[in-house]
Amino acid sequence: MTFTAFLLIFGSAVTHATWNLLAKKRKMGLAFYAIICTMGALIWGHVQFWTPVKIFSLPPAFWGIIAGTVFFDIFYGVGIILIYKKMEMASAYPVMRSLPIVLTALFTTLLGLGNPLTWTAALGFLVVFAGALLMPLSRFSDFKPSQYWNKTSFLLLMAAMGTTGYTIFDSLGVKFIAKHYPEVSNAVRSMTYYSTRGIALSLFFWLVVLCVKEDREEAKEFFRAKDFMPVVAGCFSSTTYILVLLAMNFVSNVSYVQVFRQLGLPVGMFAGVFFLKEKCTLTKLVGVSLILGGLTLSVLKF
């Protein structure tokens, strides 16, 4: 885990929390998410015209990776849409972001992806996970299984599995391009991959929107009302993930990217306290302390 990766992930954590806040403030359906994805494709689509990476000359395995990341991103998108219809962001966001920490570490270990995690890193991941689970609670007595295992638990797990899946596939995609084009810079490889996945993802989402009447009407409403909120959210979202893809070039295991993305939780908490005048509870302070302590522990080497 390099300092460059830390800076990139910190920036992505801030923009990720921002676009989720924008999404929560508006009715979020498939059309909203399709516009978000389309903005990413439009902003980074120019890369396809000048990149030295010949996408269509890559082996079929690359397109299998793109199909995998599209599938899991859709899984995540549907999950987050349903979650924000049923839960408050303050309760859903920390849990939704913390579950992939454990899941990504588990699957990368089982599949032998990247360098093995050190015992300090594994312990640090668990500490971050515990801190994230504490943050949405009002008091310590609420820390019990029933608080998390309820009707919405499946939706949270759905979004977490989606995040885990597309993170792993995207890590494979970035490394796949690096293997075939080692002479191309990290930045260009990452932008090329993001542009390709963005085009594929937005096309698939619009196909779904066009096939479902309710989603078609939602899309028409956005255009009639000239509601630019999903456009703004899309700008933040695309910035978030291009930074994540860049960071993947500077870590030995993609699990480090996943855990350090939790920096958005303390950033969001302090922003809420200072700008929105939200309550700063003891559980939030302890949760933030555990997150920061766990992140520090995860990069120590013994």
pLDDT tens figures, 37-56: 888 889 889 999 999 999 99
Enter the pTM of the model: 0.79
SS3 call for 143: coil
Task: Return all residues near 229 (Cβ < 8 A) that are at least 6 apart.
Answer: 22, 25, 26
SS3 at position 227:
coil
Q: What is the pLDDT of residues 178-192, one digit of tens each?
A: 999 999 998 899 999
Is residue 173 pLDDT above 70, yes or no?
yes
- Answer whether residue 10 shows pLDDT above 90: no
**What is the tens place of the pLDDT at every residue in 84-118?**
677 665 666 677 777 787 888 888 888 887 777 78
CA 104, CA 253: separation in Å to the nearest integer? 10
* Cα–Cα nearest to 265, from 91, 142, 114, 86: 91
